[in-house]
Structure 1
Amino acid sequence: MSKERSSRILHGFISACLVAAVAAFIILAIPDHLGRAGIGAGSATKKNFPSAKNLSSIVDLEKEKQAAEVKIENPSGQLAYFKPEQVPIPPGQDAQAQDLTLTDPNQSPDVAGGSGAAVDDSSFGNAVPIEPEPTETFQGVPDNFVPVAEDTPRGSSITLVTYPRSSLAIHEPPAHVLRRSKKEYSWIFTPPELEKDVAFWKAIYSRYDKNQVVLHHPIYLDIIYDVVDLGYIEGDMRLSELEKQHKKEKLIEEKRERIVSILEMLAQNQRLSSSLNDEEWRIKKLFDNVGDPKKFQRAAEEFGVRAQIGQRDKFIAGLKYSGRYLGEIERIYEESGMPRELSRLIFVESMFNLKAKSSVGASGIWQFMPQTGKLYLRMNKIVDERNDPIAATHASIKLLRHNYNELGTWPLAINAYNAGRGRLKQAVQTLGTKDIAKIVKNFKHRAYGFASRNFFPEYLAALEVAENPEKYFGPISYDDPLRFEMVRTAYHISLPSVAGVSGIPLEELLELNPGFSSKVISGDQLIPIAYPIKVPEGKGSIFIAAAARAPKSQRGSIRHVVAPNETVNSIAWMYGIDPTRIRQANANIRRNPSKGEIIVIPFD
């Protein structure tokens, strides 16, 4: 009995141990396993991840860079680093072209001046995404998402770009003084016949500010009737902006009417000089060197009194802001074999105001009109490169070189930038001369008005003031040259969506990418795969990781709805791909597809 009892006790003990082991496994191991799988609930098993709403706060950029970058010092002194994954060679380019892109980050096939047909119209169709594979679209950002180097998809790239300092910022003497003969640069010296005109514009740029309006003769620019000070109106805090504007306009009109009445009186010669008051006498003396016997009558009835607002404050602001871009613009000009002095046209056109738009449709710092811009730049629903300072610089070189090749002198080429080559050719043919001073003074045409006639004198004045800022303004504190990372993502992206996920303010992205269209800014238009996007320095990895996770990011081909006047070439240029690929993806497509036709844009 005792043996049987011992056996039963032993079997019971073993059974109890097995039951206890199974229970322990159920209690401890299975919930932990379920928690790792994201199934279990409860604070004991749930992983605690940081939020991914602002990626910049949770990415160790220095650690990522050390693991992923390869540094290259290129000939222009810029430092570039690249992800190990090579950017796929774009269609139509060979390996050598790819190498050039990597070693010089500022030379991009997407920048104006590269290959591609001229865009036929500034209005493009909507891009409608093809339904993507379930694994290639992201409906939301998981709370436990932490971007690391491994999140960077193949086909993405990051390039650090640093623009050089400008010759103005480092106080380098003008090119003709530094290393070129005065004979070679004789065209930048003011002709005697234009000295008074250039002096007028130098005063506008350097002496008078936005609260001063110069009332002057539109032909004889040295005849300045009055300078109206509007500062007291601008400083009146009791007035609204609209009230200030009305009060300024009323004051200027009153001054104009007073001057015209004096000119009319002088034209009629009804009073002796001895009876003139001080103002009347002063205006009469302004015309002493004008030989026209009808000078007062014509000044009152034909020419009128023109009002010019001072530009001193804008010129100073333009000089300061030029520090960001001008060094790169000068480099592009000189590498193209063009005089860097031509870059000073920007001060005449826009004072480096990136948002400059004229009443007739010119846009950007180079003020390209839509019709001219389409010949050299992409203007579509993704981008208006007229507003991209570097792309527009490449276009300005093409336009000015074309002007020079056809007209033969830089003064004529510069004047044609405003008036057009055809008008300057007409002037040369009409007057039988290429002398810019004779053309400015003697060519008469209703389309060659005040702005065209004064464009070259304005340029000479701006060149003089820009090259000698301390003489006219004192010390100038130039902005630092731009430093940014150029990224190309492996996704079609919504810019606001990626900005929100990355934590990079949309305003910062738009400041670096002023060419993006309103549809891109609103998120209605996706930016295509591998499109170059500038992001703040140190944020490239964050941006690319966010692009892979943003809700609207997509991969693969997309469908494009053809807009009026679009061609296969213009659509290809818009998306940065070879037109042949579009033809291969769309059987029987015509060179000029019909409006509303849907075509596939291949990105695989």
Structure 2
Amino acid sequence: MTYRTTRQWTLALAGGIAMIGALSATSPALLASPHPGATPAFPTHHFWDDLNLEAMPGDAWERLRENLAWQERRHDARVQHWIEHYRANPGNVVEIIERARPWMAWITEQVERRGLPGEVSLIPFIESSYDPHARSHRGAAGLWQFMPGTADALGLRRQGGYDGRLDVIAATNAALDYIELQAEQWYEGDIELSLAAYNAGAGTVNRARHAALARGEAGEYWQLQLPNETMQYLPKLNAIAAIIDDPDAYGVALPEIDDAPAFAKVPVNRPIELSQLARVTGVDASELSALNPGLTNGSANPSTVEVVLVPVEQEQVVLAELSAPAPQAPAGDSQYLVQRGDSLSAIAARHSISVAELRQHNGLRGDTIQVGQTLEIPRRSLAAR
């Protein structure tokens, strides 16, 4: 097993944090008893279906299958129960997997690079139904369902219109770091026990393990007495892995996904409004928004994030736009970068101009401004000083 160590000084802070706020269910439709002929719980069309991506060699599912490591678990009665549960409503399974389209190849690649079992790539199926915006009633958020305290300990920042829990790149790296660190710290590299701790917390798993050993039983996940949610966690994961490994056997038609990320990373070297970037480059605004769920106010600032994600086939046009010199303010004008706590009236007062003038000069229809937004300050305010 390959372990990453570059962030362990941060991850050590998280060793004792219980991730009890993680969502254990995929969706209400999958938790409930399936009804034949039921309408799928998710939209049947996604803008990813319309992307004219250049064909890439390889298939994401084949790559994932090559890395599956727990096939023998499929004979467990708990796994068989969930296989039957999922196969009874294959439309819901496919709809959830459709949400993974932009992320599946990249997540699989990260899991493979670390030498982790391929099943780990499917944890977001169990945690969030592959919805980066998913939030639980307990406060967990994102594809990997991080609680605020755990996210803080792992360095997933929440500030300035940015939530690292919703940032798929940052949250995936943090989740895999955390899983590896717990396995190394508590379980002699046992990833199954680490995943149980990911769901229930290390304290809960360690107590169950010690109790099992005291009874003379094995301390492996499948022999432990854990909360029901955690007892079902790995069976769900292994069940969906079994279906993906042989979809024809279970009557599931997996969507085709290329074995290459659907997005590219573009450096952020100046404040960027996603809506404006979409206008000047022709990139669909909904695609930019979907690829950057961590940018909660629709803007990126170099003080907050290093990159924005864009559809891979439009990387060059976006790079060209962001590499061009920033527009210069008219002679005599100045620029102001909106900070946390700013209001339009406060900025106007600071520069000795009226709110109406500031609003008109920047084409604002109301008084709403966002952190990281650049405002032009009219030259009159400079002369008045």
Fold conserved (TM > 0.5)? Answer: yes
| Cα distance between partner residues in 2 of 1:115 and 1:473 | 43
Q: State the AA in 1 paired with 2:88.
A: R
| 2:73 paired residue among 175, 190, 215 | 190
Paired with 2:57 and 2:196, the residues of 1 have a C-alpha distance of 28
Q: Deviations over 1:300-343 (max 9, x none)?
A: xxxxxxxxxxxx33321233443432222122122223222321
> SS in structure 2 opposite 1:337?
coil
Contact kept, 8 Å, 2:94 with 2:253, in 1: the verdict is no
Which deviates the most, 395-404 or 373-382? 373-382
Alignment partner for residue 437 of structure 1, among 217, 222, 228? 222
> Cα 1:416–1:453, aligned 2, differ >3 Å: closer, same or farther?
same
What does residue 206 of structure 2 align with? 425
Equivalent residue for 1:404, pick from 165, 183, 186: 183
Partner deviation per Cα, 1:364-393 (whole Å, 9 max, x = no partner): 222222221222223222422222222222
Question: Using the alignment, how far apart are the partners of 2:57 and 2:328 within structure 1?
Answer: 36
In the TM superposition, 1:252-331 aligns within 5 A as 312-331=90-109
Provide closer, same or farther for how the CA distance between residues 355 and 314 of structure 1 changes in structure 2, counting only shifts above 3 A: farther
**C-alpha displacement of 1:357:** 2.0
Q: What SS is found at the alignment partner of 1:198?
A: helix
Name which of 449, 453, 464 aligns with 2:227. Answer: 449
The equivalent of 2:344 in structure 1 is none
Distance 2:58 2:135 in 1: 25
User: Partners of 1:163 and 1:423 in 2: how far apart?
Assistant: 46
Q: Does 1:493 align with 2:277?
A: no
- Structure with larger RCO (C-alpha < 8 A, sep 6+): 1
Matches for 1:66-465 after TM superposition, within 5 Å? 168-170=60-62, 173-175=65-67, 185=69, 188-190=71-73, 195-208=76-89, 312-376=90-154, 377-405=156-184, 406-408=186-188, 409-432=190-213, 433-439=218-224, 443=225, 448-465=226-243
Q: Which AA in structure 1 matches 2:228?
A: F
Provide structure 2 residue ranges, at least 5 long, that are not aligned to the other structure.
14-52, 342-385
State the SS of the aligned residue for 1:361.
Answer: coil
Cα distance in 1 for residues equivalent to 2:211 and 2:54: 48
Instruction: Name the amino acid aligned to 2:223.
Output: K
1:438-459 residue CA offsets vs partner (Å, 9 max, x unmatched): 21xxx3xxxx532122112212
Answer yes or no: is the 8 Å Cα contact 2:99–2:130 preserved in 1: yes
1:425 and 1:372 map into 2 onto residues whose CA distance is 18
What's the TM-score once normalised by structure 1's chain length? 0.41
Give a deviation string over 1:126-184, Cα, whole Å, max 9, x none.
xxxxxxxxxxxxxxxxxxxxxxxxxxxxxxxxxxx9998776534774436xxxxxxxx
CA contact (8 A) 1:492 1:526 kept: yes
Deviation per CA, 1:38-87: give whole Å up to 9, x if none.
xxxxxxxxxxxxxxxxxxxxxxxxxxxxxxxxxxxxxxxxxxxxxxxxxx
Query: What is the CA–CA distance in structure 2 between the aligned matches of 1:353 and 1:332, rounded to whole Å?
Result: 19
Query: Which residue in 2 is equivalent to 1:533?
Result: 308
- 1:339 alignment partner AA: P
Uncovered stretches (5+) of structure 1, i.e. residues with no partner: 1-111, 121-160, 177-184, 209-311, 563-604
TM-score by length of 2: 0.62
| 1:178-199 Cα shifts (integer Å, max 9, x gaps) | xxxxxxx5x552287xx32222
C-alpha distance in 2 between matches for 1:415 and 1:325: 23
How far apart, CA to CA, are the structure 1 residues paired with 2:77 and 2:271?
56
Residue 33 (structure 2) aligns with = none
User: Residues 508 and 485 of structure 1: is their aligned pair in 2 closer, same or farther, counting only changes over 3 Å?
Assistant: same
Relative to structure 1, the CA distance from residue 332 to residue 560 in structure 2 (aligned partners, 3 Å threshold; closer, same or farther) is same
- CA-based RMSD of the aligned residues comes to 3.8
Greater radius of gyration (CA)? 1
Q: Distance in 1 between matches of 2:111 and 2:253?
A: 26
Equivalents in 2 of 1:113, 1:315: separation in Å?
36
1:54 alignment counterpart = none
Cα distance, 1:548 vs structure 2: 1.8
Q: Determine helix, strand or coil for the equivalent of 1:189.
A: helix
The count of residues paired between Structure 1 and Structure 2 equals 283
In the alignment, what sits opposite 1:22?
none
Contact 2:157/2:164, CA 8 A, preserved across alignment: yes
What secondary structure is seen at the aligned counterpart in 1 of 2:181? helix
CA contact (8 A) 2:268 2:302 kept: no
Indicate how the Cα distance of structure 1 residues 361 and 495 shifts in structure 2: closer, same or farther if over 3 A, else same. Answer: same
Are the equivalent residues in 2 in contact too, given 1:357–1:367 (CA < 8 A)? yes
Change (3 A) 1:430 1:390: same
Q: In 2 relative to 1, CA 335–527 (structure 1 residues): closer, same or farther, beyond 3 Å?
A: same
Partner SS state of residue 175, structure 2: helix
- SS where residue 507 of structure 1 aligns? helix
3-state SS of 1:324 partner = coil
| Mapped partners of 1:114, 1:556: distance in 2 | 37
Contact 1:321–1:478 (Cα < 8 Å) also in 2: no
Tell me, in whole angstroms, the C-alpha distance in 1 between the residues paired with 2:235 and 2:250.
Answer: 18
Match among 250, 253, 260 for residue 472 of structure 1: 250
Q: CA deviation at 1:346?
A: 2.1
What SS does the aligned partner of 2:256 have?
coil
Seen in structure 2, the aligned counterparts of structure 1 residues 389 and 358 have a Cα distance that, compared at 3 Å, is same
Cα gap change, 1:415 to 1:164, in 2 (>3 Å): farther
Identity over aligned pairs, percent: 23
Partners of 1:168 and 1:466 within 8 A in 2: no
Q: Note the C-alpha offset of 1:351.
A: 2.9
Amino acid at match of 1:204: H
Q: Does 1:507 align with 2:293?
A: no
Task: Return the alpha-carbon distance in structure 2 between the equivalents of residues 362 and 356 of structure 1.
Answer: 8
Q: Which residue of 2 aligns with 1:516?
A: 295
CA contact (8 A) 2:288 2:310 kept: yes
